[in-house]
Amino acid sequence: MIEGQSITAISTEIKSQKLKSEDVVKFYFDKIKKYNKDLNAIVSLRDETEVISEAREKDQLIKNKHHTGLLYGLPLAIKDTVDVKGMPTSFGCMEYKNNFPAEDSIITERLKKQGAIIIGKTNTAELAYGSQTTNRLFGSTYNPYNTSKTAGGSSGGAAAAVSSGMLPLADGSDMMGSVRNPAAYCNLYGFRPTPGLISEKRVEPSNIECPLLSTLGGIAKTPDDLSLFLDSVAGRDSRDSFSFDLNAKFLETSMSEDEFKKIKIGWLGNLNNNYSFENGIIELCESSLNILMSNPFNISIEEVKTNLFSRDIWDIWITIRSKISYDDIKMMKDINLDDLCLAAKWEYDQGIKISDEEFVQKIDGINRYRSVVNQLFEKYDFLAMPSAQVFPFDANISFPKKIGSHSLSTYHKWMETTIIASLFELPTLSVPVGFNNSGLPMGMQIIGKKAYDLKVMSFGKKYESIFNHSNVKPDGFN
């Protein structure tokens, strides 16, 4: 029986020969055939017969006592911004629809080494810009909780596929909430690790003081499933000078009841009225926090008043992001600037105007504010704030133009709530907080100190054991 089992349990049963990888692959392909036409989450799908043949080979290797990995025999699809040899990496862009990489990315290598079977790609926002998964090559991805709404982005294909049961778990990437936002929109856990924990072949930044804004991450129904994924892909690699190892495994790390009760959380809320939120978001987050504050948990949670979150932070963010984006777009082959999607064109047009001097000034600004962040973590174990500023919106809208009566000045201003973790390279887990009156999901960021990834995930495990959000599945799916 596969339905209802945790991914860890399925993996264990494959390796103990109680389950066949072939049967697991067929189970997920049946889900894909049933649901993907409504969600458009998985693209570039491999031939089912070919994948089943690979699964049978893995079953035979187990019989022959072949070494197995953490994800042995599990079918996975990779975000369509990450290289898989033999499959196109299109970025959702027409110009790259025939872009077949010569080799696997590091994360793909590691997933395969742990026994995963790569069956396809998950849909992305075009060139991964924006938190709405839509592009001109494959179209939009839809939310399993309401198929007229967006699944978020840019890793929306991954989130919709996991939430609907078409994939056991998924990778993603996150610069400005591209893992955290779709996880929140699909009632999932999404982890943005400290940059460097998941190695990648990256272009070295022109300024060594510049933070690594973007990182690979993961999306799953539970923190335990995320731990399985992270133990499969995390760790140092000589091809990534920023990569590092942790001193323990995610699967082996937990938080005792006594440790949990001693946790102190700083609630950032609307950041001293600096951020606008759609009605109901703050209330859902605070409802979850109130439960944690009450018996029998009695966690210490208090509202944070700080000078960290001025408009200066937003100016720093858009300057550095646009300059990095401009440099990235310049390096892209076969891209006509006139054909760029609107979000990428906006970043390019902003970035071309930014001088090296201004760029350095903004990096200096990050360093000034870093001491404020460090002071907060002297007082709190975690910071908490909503994962998005609006609920899932209509899938035919490129991005929200307003929050209530407050007009938004850019295509990504509604995701401003995610930039603190990104600017200061903080490990962050988006946890579900429930649904509004229309049945639309929302999430909350649990932000930890840099390189304290294990502690963040340990908290997430306790959180899920209390709330059991993974049990609330979308109607008509799963």
Asked, as a colleague might, if the bond just before 101 is cis with ω within 30 of 0, I would say: no
d(CA 142, CA 144): 7
Collect all residues with Cβ–Cβ distance below 8 Å to 465 and sequence separation of at least 6: none
Helical axes 311-331 vs 342-351, angle rounded to 10°: 100
* Choice among 11, 163, 178, 387 that is catalytic: 178
Would you call 154 a catalytic residue per the annotation? yes
* Choice among 31, 58, 79, 455 that is catalytic: 79
* Choice among 90, 154, 214, 243 that is catalytic: 154
217 has which bridge partners?
Answer: 172
Would you call 178 a catalytic residue per the annotation? yes
Q: What is the CA radius of gyration of the chain?
A: 21
Collect all residues with Cβ–Cβ distance below 8 Å to 84 and sequence separation of at least 6: 78, 101, 104, 105, 108, 118, 121
| Residue matched to tokens 């003081």 | 209
d(CA 33, CA 164): 12
Taking Cα atoms as reference points, which of 396, 368, 390 lies closest to residue 443? 390
Instruction: Work out whether the CA dihedral 449, 452, 457, 459 comes out positive or negative.
Output: negative
Helices (H), 124-222: 156-163, 180-185
For 353, counting Cβ atoms within 10 Å of its Cβ (0-12 exposed, 13-18 middle, 19+ buried), the class is: exposed
φ/ψ of 384, rounded to 5, equals -135, 140
Would you call 387 a catalytic residue per the annotation? no
Q: Indicate which residues carry an active-site annotation.
A: 79, 154, 178
